Amino acid sequence: MTSHKEPYQTPRGCHGASIPDITATGPEQESVMSWRERSGINPEGQIRLVKLSHMRYQHPDLEEITTFLQDFGMHVVKRTDDEVWYRGYGPDAYVYYARKGPKAALQLPNASGITELVNHPGGGHLVTVIDPEGYPVNLIHGQMSQQLGEYPERLSINYEMEKTRVRKFHRFNPGPAPVHKLGHFGYCVSDFPTMLNFYTQHFNLVPTDFLYIEKAGKKQTVAVFAHIDRGSTSVDHHTLFMMANETTHVHHCSFEVHDFDTQKLGHYWLARKGYKSVWGVGRHILGSQIFDYWWDRSGNMVEHYADGDVVTDETPIGYMPARNESLAIWGPEVPEEFIR
């Protein structure tokens, strides 16, 4: 790890600014190439991921979770007596799969070999790999993209010295915040070094940021934001957030929405429907997303996000202390239940 010579710069006054990644990352950083060499990672031998496809959960009441996910901004693309597939308005055949049963993150039965997804929207073939802590990683190849839904209009914003929106008035339609895609998920693990090694050695997952604590005078890494490495093609700041914990469990899954107004409209829609908010609305520091976390009816945490950072293979890997105050630049206080 090296120290970047340029001083860390934040905007002057009470406002934000879009600054280069090499500056925003801060003084503790290193290149992806340096990290790979130091970690003994050979990209030639990795499984090459393209994107995060969908989440798989088991729920005791499919009607209840379907009502929630529709209020959350998804719609049903296929339903059977024991399974439901949900999609957004993006190209993915589905972004969430639910099966009837006790609450759990889900593994397909008999998935040790290649399974053809005959009855799944978009088709394709699936292989399941079990990670060192027993959770399945479902790999899909050959899934067909779906026809895009209607994309929302970009709002024109009037600034104090630049007012391009003339004789055009903002009007909004209350309702669920339409989901575009699955963006990332959070994963709590009991053996962080082993799990970090597994995911970064076997897959083209590259750290964007590491979080550490000071222990006995040494820095101990306890969390990582990792993105899918697609070279010079820009990708989301993170696809996987993984952190050390006493137990192994999925922390949350996160779905992209159009913009800040859409997110706030969705927030108030969920509140009026009587769902329980976890944390939000606020803006993260690492990743920059505007966030809004909720509990679903089965007790799983789900997130709406908008306006996240994107990176390439030239974005340096950052290192910073793990503290509650590093989670958000604005928003409500971090609730204790969020960091469990």
Q: Quick: pLDDT tens for 233-280.
A: 999 999 999 999 999 999 999 999 999 999 999 999 999 999 999 999
* pLDDT of res. 325: 79
| Per-residue pLDDT at 328 | 95
C-alpha angle 121-123-129 in degrees, rounded to nearest 5: 110
**Residue ranges making up the domain that contains 127:** 19-43+50-146+178-339
pLDDT value of position 206: 98
User: Is 163 inside any structural domain?
Assistant: no
Output the domain CATH number for residue 214: 3.10.180.10
| Strand (E) or helix (H) holding 2 | strand 2-3
170 part of a folded domain: no
Output DSSP code: residue 127. E
Domain assignment present for residue 256? The answer is yes
Domains in the chain: how many in total? 1
What is the CA angle 204-205-210, rounded to 5? 150
pLDDT tens digits, 98-125 = 999 987 665 444 345 888 999 999 999 9
pLDDT at 324: 85
All residue ranges of the chain with pLDDT < 70 are 1-10, 104-112
Confidence at residue 2, expressed as pLDDT on a 0 to 100 scale: 58
CA atoms of 164 and 280, how far apart (whole Å): 31
Q: pTM of the full predicted structure?
A: 0.94
The reply to whether 142 falls in a domain is: yes
Please report the pLDDT score of residue 104 as a whole number.
Answer: 65
